[in-house]
Structure 1
Amino acid sequence: DERIVAVEAGFIHALALTAEGKVFSWGAGGDGRLGHGTEDHQAEPKVVKMLEGKNIRSIAAGYESSLALTSEGRVLSWGRGALGQLGHGSCASELEPRFIEALKDQPISAITAGNKRSLALARDGAVLSWGDGAGGQLGHGDETHLQIPQRIRALAGLDIAQVVAGASHSFALTSDGVLYSWGAGQCGRLGHGNEEKQLVPKRVEALEGICIIAVAGGAFHSVAADEYGAVYGWGDGDGASLGLELHSDQLEPRRYPNNLRVAL
């Protein structure tokens, strides 16, 4: 039996990582997002043979693409590449995992994927992004799509500990708990008190003085936890998706009831 240490879900495909560094994939196979060299669907988990022996330590699933990170800090990508989200310098799809050559001299410590873009945290603390730039979700000050990874200058010099991708918005969290967000702003998902898109990373001022240690982004809403386990939510409140007994959008982070704590 394989011991699973991580799972990732894309739109209609999934990935799993074992303690031994093997990657399994299953679901819809269009554009090669499963990494098996074909576009066939896979009803059960199947090992991605091209990743065997590469000592994978992390995985990420985008809408129709996939990423894997080796213990040496190399990144591989595969699947749909229509907006450059694979980072190979083109918009071509890849049926099997392929190393991102633009990152070969830039060891990476973490990866994450949104709908049609990818982000990486380098071991030197730099944050890189590529793929769909609509709404400023790449954080470079414009809405240009990028086919190769590019450093986000607005985050230079900050001690970034985590990067997280929502569907079309992103977060960077510093080692001392300061949260930055950028990208699409509908429903207040960025937490800046409005619904405007943000072309470059901006500090979430409503959380000033609060040490955030974890954050997650959904399609139109976001949640975070602080050092004491308190939880905050903001963005789309439709269908009580924020869990705050409110059905309206929250443009800034709101703390959940005091009896709710999470352990991280």
Structure 2
Amino acid sequence: MKYSHFMQGVLLSAVVVTAVSPHSFAAASTQPGDRMDAAARLSVSISAESPAASASSTAALGTAFVQVAAGNYYSVGLRADGSVWTWGRNLLGELGIPDTTAVSSMVAPVRLNTLPPLNSIATDGYGYQLGVARDGTVWEWGSRPGYVRETQVPRALPGLSGISQVTTLQKYSFGLGSDGSVKAWMRDQKSGDSGQPISVSGLKNIVQLQSTSDYIYALDSAGSVWKLTVNASENQLHLSVPVRIQGLPALKQISMQHAYDAYGVDGSGKVWNWSTQASSSTGKLYVKPVSIQPSLQVRNVYVPPVMRCW
């Protein structure tokens, strides 16, 4: 892929759904080592496996990718064994590998060896990544604000424990506690250091977080969706009062495309699309929920945020 400064106004948008199916999907097995074989491809099994093939598949489970997060010209992947792999552009230190001056891009995934086994990953789309370790601590890596071709190698964030999920924007990040509470913190745009986490009031029993633009969306255990805005001034984090979005069915998973457009999956596997009003103080819908492909039963839906490439 060529990168061009003339690619102005290119918009990327897609909807990815994981449907209920008897077929199995797994990443191709690779040889031991820190660099994945570039010839590795996604393998799909649609027929009964022999005992030998089944044993081989079981052995390969650790190398299967269970989550992939994509940003501007780079990607981050999490394997079932908890290892993290990055590939793509590295001009801004996006990948988190130490020697950024010599490596401007990686065509094949490279493992970040200094990370502990992780349960989940997140990216702001512009080079900064977070991950949740299996002990509930939060780790960061990637681009440093204000620096070109310098990277923040993986390091743990202080003051965070018992976290199960994270989401991040360019200046702010949020963590979901195992008890359903939510934490928020800023990232200094000069030093790149993260500030002390604060508790987000008005949210409880949360099971999923999503962020887009300056909006945070939260799904609670009852299936209700909440939203709040976030901004900063004079190095202080300011959060609006969370409001519940009215008129939605009970949902089990959500995905936001941008600040106002969203998708969700209900308990029966039906996918819904809706739009909210711009005001952060109201939970009213701008466009009522519409069922998408009602004949499908879906486990989850992922809508990549609309990103502008310059």
**Normalized against structure 1, the TM-score is what?**
0.62
Compare relative contact order (CA 8 Å, sep 6+) and give the higher one, 1 or 2: 2
Equivalent position to 1:180, from 166, 174, 183: 183
Conserved in 2, the CA contact under 8 Å of 1:78 and 1:86?
yes
Equivalent position to 1:263, from 234, 251, 255: 251
**Aligned match of 1:117:** 128
Residues 1:255 and 1:15: Cα distance change in structure 2 (over 3 Å): closer
- The residue identity in structure 1 corresponding to 2:195 is V
Question: Does residue 1:127 correspond to 2:122, yes or no?
Answer: no
Conserved in 1, the CA contact under 8 Å of 2:122 and 2:166?
yes
**Aligned match of 2:201:** 206
Report the 3-state secondary structure (helix = DSSP H, G, I; strand = E; otherwise coil) of the residue aligned with 2:242. strand
Residues 1:203 and 1:122: Cα distance change in structure 2 (over 3 Å): same
Query: How far does residue 83 in structure 1 lie from its aligned partner after superposition?
Result: 3.2
User: Map of 1:188-203 to 2, 5 A cutoff?
Assistant: 199-203=194-198
Conserved in 1, the CA contact under 8 Å of 2:165 and 2:177?
yes
Structure 1 spans left out of the alignment, 5+ residues = 1-10, 24-34, 38-47, 136-144, 186-196, 237-248
- The residue identity in structure 2 corresponding to 1:72 is D
Residues 1:225 and 1:128: Cα distance change in structure 2 (over 3 Å): same
Residues 1:14 and 1:165: Cα distance change in structure 2 (over 3 Å): farther
Residues 1:166 and 1:207: Cα distance change in structure 2 (over 3 Å): same
Query: How far does residue 204 in structure 1 lie from its aligned partner after superposition?
Result: 4.0
Cα deviation, 1:205-224, whole Å, max 9, x if unaligned, reads: 3325x221111001221211
Higher alpha-carbon deviation: 86-95 or 49-58: 49-58
Residues 1:12 and 1:205: Cα distance change in structure 2 (over 3 Å): closer
Report the 3-state secondary structure (helix = DSSP H, G, I; strand = E; otherwise coil) of the residue aligned with 2:135. coil
Q: Measure the CA separation in 2 of the matches of 1:19 and 1:60.
A: 21
Residues 1:19 and 1:253: Cα distance change in structure 2 (over 3 Å): farther
Equivalent position to 1:151, from 156, 169, 177: 156
**Aligned match of 2:53:** none
Aligned residues: 195
Residues 1:219 and 1:179: Cα distance change in structure 2 (over 3 Å): same
Q: Measure the CA separation in 1 of the matches of 2:205 and 2:220.
A: 5
Conserved in 2, the CA contact under 8 Å of 1:56 and 1:69?
yes
Supply the RMSD in Å over aligned alpha carbons: 3.6
Cα deviation, 1:74-103, whole Å, max 9, x if unaligned, reads: 111001223322121133321111111222
Structure 2 spans left out of the alignment, 5+ residues = 1-10, 29-35, 44-59, 231-237, 253-310
Residues 1:77 and 1:12: Cα distance change in structure 2 (over 3 Å): farther
Please identify the structure whose Cα radius of gyration is greater: 2
**Aligned match of 2:242:** 253
**Aligned match of 2:40:** 49
Report the 3-state secondary structure (helix = DSSP H, G, I; strand = E; otherwise coil) of the residue aligned with 2:251. coil
**Larger % of helix: which?**
1
**Aligned match of 1:98:** 110
Query: How far does residue 146 in structure 1 lie from its aligned partner after superposition?
Result: 4.0
